[in-house]
Structure 1
Amino acid sequence: MPLKTYILTRVILSIPMIFILLTVVFVILRILPGNPVTAMLGPKAPPEVVKSMEAQLGLDKPIIVQFGDYIANILRGNFGNSTVTTLPVIQELEDRFPATLELTIFSMVIAVLIGIFFGSFAASHYGKTVDVMARIYSIFVYSMPVFWFGIMLQLIFGVWFKILPVSGRASPFMTPDNLYTGLYTIDAILNGQWNVLYDALLHLVLPSVTLGVVISSIFVRMVRSNVLLSLSSQYVISARSRGVKESKILYAHALKNAMIPILTIMGLQFALLLGGAVLTETTFSWPGIGSYLVERIRYRDFPAIQGAVVFFALFVVVVSILIDIINAWMDPRVRY
């Protein structure tokens, strides 16, 4: 199958998946107990005020009509206005997305570094103490609640040793003067504000380590398994018979060939991290989309909840398609 045909097929197949997701989100929000108008005005609001607000928000229309309006607005890129702030949801998501993206990038770097080096080192020492430690690490860390791990890091490094901030994205008056990307670390460098960069990095340490370490358990197991499979291949045996150094065999041959399936999981995990950062952002009061979603769920803010979930879903779909394209380009066998 030609690469262009493969890409087109993947894009077409993603459309019904997105539609099903939109439908599920819409239906679940409508069948859950509670009312966004009551949550916004309070239980003692006069009935006529409640009805007026429901008419203003379109909640008095039949469900089918509401769903049709919802899909039409999504196709136009209109996620509606928040029932809490009355601001466009897309604007609020754009304001929050850079914080989530920055946290995700730093967490991913930590997870990848631990996963690749610890996993490949364990594979090269199969059956030895390091290998056993890697397996125990991956099982223990994967089963560890991310919010509990975050609280423990806050307690140790923020409360006991008092060397790292435990919440927020920056200290007061320590934000970049000009926001070019919304990523504080990048903008601080572009502005030449090295004290702001240092402050932003300090605030990133605990949340990114929390999320990165928990996710690294997946990468350690995957890297270890794939490198072990590569080390048993014929080309590795041939390289050893020629006297090639074991370190070169591990990193230049086995790890390189094992990276194709690993890159797929890493790419998908990066997309899922954006949605999975909800607990971490809540624990560290990180002003990203995750904490935004939790906040709006409390207020039954339908447009904001739907917008955040759809935003996450679209991002995951786009990243999935990009990963499939990269895999198909690197390995033509994927297309068949």
Structure 2
Amino acid sequence: MRPPVARRLLKPVTGLAWILVVVWSAVSVTFLLSRIVPADPARLAAGLDAGPEQVAQVRAEMGLDQPLIVQYGRYLGDLLTGDLGRSVQTRQPVLDDLLSALPASLELILVSSLIYAVLGVLAGIAWAYWPRGPHTLLLRLGAVVGVAVPVFWVGLLLQIVFAGRLRWFPVAGNFDFEGTGVPRVTGMGLVDTALTGDLTLVGEALRTLALPVTTLVVTHFAVAMTLMRSSLEEQLRRPYVRTARARGVKERRIVFADALRNALNPVVTMLGLQLGWSLGGVVIIEVIFSWPGLGLYAYHAFSAFDYNAIMAVTLLSTVAFVLINALVGAIYPLLDPRLKEAR
């Protein structure tokens, strides 16, 4: 039975309200933490050689001499107008810094997420569909390596072998827009080189992506594969599968038309969570490979206690995580019609 019309109409409003509450909570907690840590943002902004009068002047300019509630209200007001403050490191508006760093992180995250999602799902299906054979040994080994090996170790090993010894790929850095003369349209090397139609430049962009993307794929692939395998195996033990087999339905149709669709729900949830965490979790990868994205920007912000930049990165990561989870919730009914009916 379908829920009342009023209830269906209220669901989007309720969902938006929860998103705003989560974002406001994250902003409030981060603001409070940035004010109670022992470091002095005004001292850092003025410079270690600045005198007391200069520090006091900078503190007044930054509004840090005001009561905490006034600072909080001013920050929320600026936030509503898109003003995220100025960075202590770059002396530029934080919003400009984020817009400059975001494309590199998005390129790294989207390419690696697509690869490990496809490979993980396919490997998990193969493991569940053919549970015995020589391929299972390789899959088990991949699962153990992906879970047990630290991400920084994988990155450093790839740099040593494929960049240092073999010299197949650059050891660090993003695609060189200035050196190659490629117009910076989106800020993503792979997309902008593809727009030029020059396959040589596309290959160069792929070379710069290869090592950081491989590092992310190796460390995330195992989770997707293992979850896909266990979820599909659980579905294959369900009564509806036994009934379909008793009716003579072909095994391939049972697996790929019925069981797989139901098994994808927890996998989609996990992939959504990983994608949501990736925006704030690529710090190690970007530091290792000197990738000029949000992760490297956040690392330098925390090192210099650039609290405007720290709060902006926190806000962006929170919004991305919440929106991705909302998108995952919207995808559920497409995979399971029963959920669509319940809505």
TM-score w.r.t. the length of structure 2 is 0.89
Preserved CA contact (<8 Å) 1:103 1:207:
yes
Superposed CA RMSD in Å reads 2.3
Preserved CA contact (<8 Å) 2:98 2:294:
yes
Matched, 1:36 2:28: no
The one-character-per-residue Cα deviations of 1:287-323 (angstroms, maximum 9, x if unpaired) are: 0001001011111111111111101111111111122
Q: After TM superposition, give the deviation of residue 279 of structure 1 in Å.
A: 0.7
Preserved CA contact (<8 Å) 1:174 1:199:
no
Q: Which of these residues, 194, 211, 215, is aligned with residue 210 of structure 1?
A: 215
Q: After TM superposition, give the deviation of residue 173 of structure 1 in Å.
A: 4.2
Higher mean alpha-carbon deviation, 158-167 vs 75-84, is at: 75-84
| Structure 1 unpaired stretches of 5+ | none
Name 1:293's counterpart in structure 2.
298
Name 1:179's counterpart in structure 2.
184
Q: After TM superposition, give the deviation of residue 72 of structure 1 in Å.
A: 1.5
Structure 1 distance, partners of 2:47, 2:331, is 51
Higher mean alpha-carbon deviation, 324-333 vs 288-297, is at: 324-333
Secondary structure class of the residue paired with 1:115: helix
Q: After TM superposition, give the deviation of residue 105 of structure 1 in Å.
A: 1.0
Q: After TM superposition, give the deviation of residue 160 of structure 1 in Å.
A: 1.3
Name 2:71's counterpart in structure 1.
66
From the superposition, tell whether residues 188 and 60 of structure 1 become closer, same or farther in structure 2 (CA, over 3 Å): same
Name 1:228's counterpart in structure 2.
233
Preserved CA contact (<8 Å) 1:176 1:187:
no
Q: Which residue type is aligned with residue 278 of structure 2?
A: L
Name 1:305's counterpart in structure 2.
310
Q: Which residue type is aligned with residue 12 of structure 1?
A: A
Q: Which residue type is aligned with residue 156 of structure 1?
A: V
Name 2:262's counterpart in structure 1.
257
Higher mean alpha-carbon deviation, 105-114 vs 128-137, is at: 128-137
Structure 1 distance, partners of 2:245, 2:204, is 49
Q: Which residue type is aligned with residue 339 of structure 2?
A: R
Q: After TM superposition, give the deviation of residue 8 of structure 1 in Å.
A: 2.2
TM-score w.r.t. the length of structure 1 is 0.91
Structure 2 distance, partners of 1:223, 1:153, is 27
Structure 1 distance, partners of 2:76, 2:177, is 41
Preserved CA contact (<8 Å) 1:120 1:227:
yes
Structure 2 distance, partners of 1:70, 1:129, is 59
Preserved CA contact (<8 Å) 1:176 1:191:
no
Q: After TM superposition, give the deviation of residue 114 of structure 1 in Å.
A: 2.5
Name 2:101's counterpart in structure 1.
96
Preserved CA contact (<8 Å) 2:109 2:278:
yes
Q: Which residue type is aligned with residue 270 of structure 1?
A: L
Matched, 1:333 2:327: no
Q: Which residue type is aligned with residue 281 of structure 1?
A: E
From the superposition, tell whether residues 276 and 175 of structure 1 become closer, same or farther in structure 2 (CA, over 3 Å): farther
Preserved CA contact (<8 Å) 1:3 1:328:
no
Preserved CA contact (<8 Å) 1:111 1:219:
yes
Preserved CA contact (<8 Å) 2:101 2:294:
yes
Structure 1 distance, partners of 2:74, 2:166, is 54
Q: After TM superposition, give the deviation of residue 179 of structure 1 in Å.
A: 2.7
Preserved CA contact (<8 Å) 1:39 1:299:
yes
Higher mean alpha-carbon deviation, 24-33 vs 127-136, is at: 127-136
Structure 1 distance, partners of 2:184, 2:8, is 38
Matched, 1:57 2:62: yes
Matched, 1:266 2:259: no
Name 2:91's counterpart in structure 1.
86
Structure 2 distance, partners of 1:162, 1:15, is 48
Q: Which residue type is aligned with residue 128 of structure 2?
A: A
Structure 2 distance, partners of 1:224, 1:128, is 15
Q: After TM superposition, give the deviation of residue 330 of structure 1 in Å.
A: 4.7
Name 2:171's counterpart in structure 1.
166
Q: Which residue type is aligned with residue 160 of structure 1?
A: R
Q: Which residue type is aligned with residue 233 of structure 2?
A: L
Q: Which residue type is aligned with residue 327 of structure 2?
A: L
Matched, 1:141 2:173: no
Name 1:115's counterpart in structure 2.
120
From the superposition, tell whether residues 249 and 290 of structure 1 become closer, same or farther in structure 2 (CA, over 3 Å): same
Structure 2 distance, partners of 1:252, 1:258, is 11
Structure 2 distance, partners of 1:221, 1:101, is 26
Q: After TM superposition, give the deviation of residue 267 of structure 1 in Å.
A: 2.1
Structure 2 distance, partners of 1:208, 1:330, is 28
Structure 2 distance, partners of 1:203, 1:73, is 38
Name 1:200's counterpart in structure 2.
205
Higher mean alpha-carbon deviation, 241-250 vs 27-36, is at: 241-250
Secondary structure class of the residue paired with 1:189: helix
